[in-house]
């Protein structure tokens, strides 16, 4: 035989059901998140430069950096932006050069 369940306090029962449904909704929202919480609003601005014979990353950094910006830092920024592992560039390559403002 099956024992019958009786609701003694209806308000407490409704509160429990509401709490459980809220938790389920929150957990579902976490897993169905479309990634916007992790996306970046910041977009890095850059110019595309076509490499010519004799160009070096150092020269490109010198030509494109602000006056008060360290050339070595600009070279590293170019390398990181383009995911250059060997730091080699060849004529015909197109690389991204970050646009730096004086305050960057």
Residue (of 36, 45, 43) closest to 64 by Cα position: 45
**Alpha carbon 34 to chain centroid distance?**
14
Joined tokens for residue 73? 């830092």
Q: What is the mean pLDDT of residues 71-78?
A: 93
Neighbouring-strand partners of residue 97: 47
CA distance to 4, 8, per residue, from 1 (Å)? 9, 22
Topology of the domain covering 46-98: Membrane-bound Lytic Murein Transglycosylase D; Chain A (3.10.350)
> Residues 17-63: pLDDT tens digits?
999 999 999 988 888 765 555 555 556 688 999 999 999 999 999 99
Domain ranges of the chain: 46-98
Beta bridge partners of 48: 96
pLDDT-based confidence at residue 102 (cuts at 50, 70, 90):
low
**What pTM was computed for the model?**
0.56
**Torsion over CA: 52, 57, 58, 64 (sign):** positive
């Amino acid at each position: 035989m099956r024992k019958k369940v009786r609701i003694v306090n209806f308000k407490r029962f409704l509160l429990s059901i509401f709490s459980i449904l809220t938790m389920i909704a929150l957990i579902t929202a976490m897993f169905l998140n479309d990634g916007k919480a992790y996306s970046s609003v910041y977009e890095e601005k850059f110019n595309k430069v076509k490499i010519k014979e004799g160009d070096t990353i150092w020269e490109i950094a010198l030509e494109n950096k602000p006056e008060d910006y360290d050339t070595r830092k600009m070279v590293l920024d170019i390398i990181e932006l383009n995911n250059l592992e060997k730091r080699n560039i060849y004529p015909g390559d197109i690389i991204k050069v970050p646009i730096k403002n004086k305050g960057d």
